[in-house]
Chains A and B, each alone.
Chain A
């Protein structure tokens, strides 16, 4: 069995060190070692987006990233979206808009949607649908998710100075 490696990475602005074997995915380490269980395992092969995190600012399926690859990288997970005890507009809009039912896909959607809105808070319905096609939801039929993202985008636009 391969030896464990020491990996140093920054997650939500905080420096973490952990040991892992090369075979372990980033998702596995986040959840089982670091106890950041927000990212979820839905399929373990990149088809559902429930494990989405940001890797150097880009949304990725953490089930398809080896933990050893993130040495020196910056990660953002759902745990880093709320700021100083306040929910981010996206989180607030998801709650007000009832954009979740069982909630298992919600962390993945929030991470991906935040990345989208940070780039383009005026994203249209079609842009939202196209960009987030990698996040599956089985409960909501997506309607309220799209509306919540649009509402959050509108808020983020008016909030920017």
Chain B
């Protein structure tokens, strides 16, 4: 393991000072399940590891039916998926948080970290996208907020400046008769990186048979997670039946531009994108109806 210094600031100001003073040679440590692997494998060169788990602002988990969810960036997945409000309002988030690695990983890994790590295959990002999450970022020049789909700028690259850290995610309260789902395809049943992933959000009408709004986001099939806008728009006004979902899947896969690598070929991933879109739309609709 490379040599580095370690600090565990307890305030945002302290954290941004540390980040600013080491000019890009820092790593932010929340759960550590990605970053420590990267440091150990020599993929990153850092002088200082800044542990942000002791900053109260990053540990919040607050929900209200008016304002929605405030999720601190270092809150562990295991705390997130156990929360009854999150389970009720953001099932896609729960779906993804429960399958990132095994229990040992989920006890530490955070959604904020999963987002900032910006793997194209990140499990939580499609769900954050369909729930229209906003990222609250803090730096030496103050705070700013960006939509979650702007956070990932390329494989392993995020929109944070050297002196910035992600503080929290804000998810609006979901509309009535709406729900979501996330599903990924992996060769085993656990412990794999997604070959393809899809999150869907669906809002039904009062009769619960017709779709009034939808959002779809795909993971692992492009350099960053990507929204399938055309497919989502097409669903508006369509009946909430399998045929609609299948057709939406065919539309959604058109935004997929995956690579072929050892986890899957391009052709296979595109196909999976349509299958997973169909399946998550189905599940989201079932949840919205119940």
* Direct chain A–B contact by Cβ atoms under 8 Å: yes
Q: How many residues of A contact B (CB 8 A)?
A: 33
Inter-chain residue pair count (beta carbon < 8 A):
91
Chain A residues within an 8 Å CB radius of B102: 49, 131-135
Is there contact, CB below 8 Å, between A22 and B49? yes
Shortest Cβ distance from A5 into B: residue: B6
A92 within 8 A of B: no
* Interface size range of chain B in the complex: 20 to 34
A55 within 8 A of B: yes
Q: B143 at the A/B interface (Cβ < 8 Å)?
A: no
Min CB distance, A1 to chain B, in Å? 5
State the majority secondary structure of interface residues on B. Answer: loop
CB contact between A23 and one of B2, B33, B78, B189 (< 8 Å): that residue:
B2
**Cα A2 to Cα B7 with chains together (Å):** 12
Max count, chain B CB within 10 A of own CB: residue among A25, A55, A59, A116: A59
Is B191 a contact partner of A47 (Cβ separation < 8 A)? yes
A130 CA to B78 CA, complexed, in Å: 14
Chain B hits for A23, CB < 8 A: 1-4
Q: Known: A64-B36, A66-B36, A69-B51. Is A46-B5 also a contact (CB below 8 A)?
A: no
**Provided the pairs A45-B40, A46-B37, A64-B108 are in contact, do residues A22 and B4 lie with their beta carbons within 8 angstroms?**
yes
Given the complex, which residues of A lie within 8 Å of B104, measured CB to CB?
46, 49, 52, 59-61, 112, 134
A104 at the B interface (CB under 8 A) = no
Cβ A112 vs Cβ B103 within 8 A? yes
Asked whether, in the complex, the Cβ of B3 is within 8 Å of the Cβ of A2, the reply is yes
Contacts of A22 in B (CB 8 A): 3-6, 49
Q: Does B239 lie at the interface of the complex (its beta carbon under 8 Å from any beta carbon of A)?
A: no
Are A66 and B107 interface neighbours, CB within 8 A?
A: no
Q: Is A58 an interface residue (CB 8 A)?
A: yes
CB nearest to B35 among chain A residues: A64
* CA A43 to CA B218, docked complex, whole Å: 31
**Least distance between A84 CB and chain B CB atoms (Å):** 28
Q: Is the CB of B190 within 8 A of A46?
A: no
What is the CA–CA distance of A112 and B2 in the complex, to the nearest angstrom?
30
- Determine whether B133 belongs to the interface, using a CB cutoff of 8 Å to chain A: no
Contact A1 B108 (CB under 8 A): no
CB-CB nearest in chain B for A72: B54
Contact check, A2 vs B4: say whether CB atoms are below 8 A apart.
yes
Residues B49 and A134 in contact, CB atoms below 8 Å apart: no
Interface string of B99-117 (1 = CB under 8 A from A): 0011111011000000000
Interface assignment of A147: CB less than 8 Å from any CB of chain B: no
> Which B residues touch A44, using CB under 8 A?
40
Contact with B along A36-55 (1 / 0, CB 8 A): 00000000111101001001
Which of A2, A24, A60, A133 sits near B191, CB closer than 8 Å?
A133
A-B contact pairs, 25 of them (CB 8 A): A2-B6, A22-B3, A25-B1, A25-B36, A46-B105, A49-B102, A49-B104, A58-B78, A60-B104, A61-B105, A61-B108, A64-B31, A64-B32, A64-B36, A64-B105, A65-B108, A69-B29, A69-B53, A112-B104, A132-B102, A133-B102, A133-B103, A133-B191, A134-B101, A134-B190
Q: Known pairs A46-B101, A134-B190. 13 more at Cβ < 8 A?
A: A1-B3, A2-B3, A21-B3, A24-B1, A25-B1, A44-B40, A64-B36, A66-B51, A112-B104, A131-B102, A133-B189, A133-B190, A133-B191
A residues at B contact (CB < 8 Å): 1-2, 5, 21-25, 44-47, 49, 52, 55, 58-61, 64-66, 68-69, 112, 115-116, 130-135
For the complex of A and B, 10 pairs with smallest distance between CB atoms: A134-B102, A22-B6, A133-B190, A58-B107, A23-B1, A61-B104, A134-B104, A45-B37, A133-B102, A2-B5
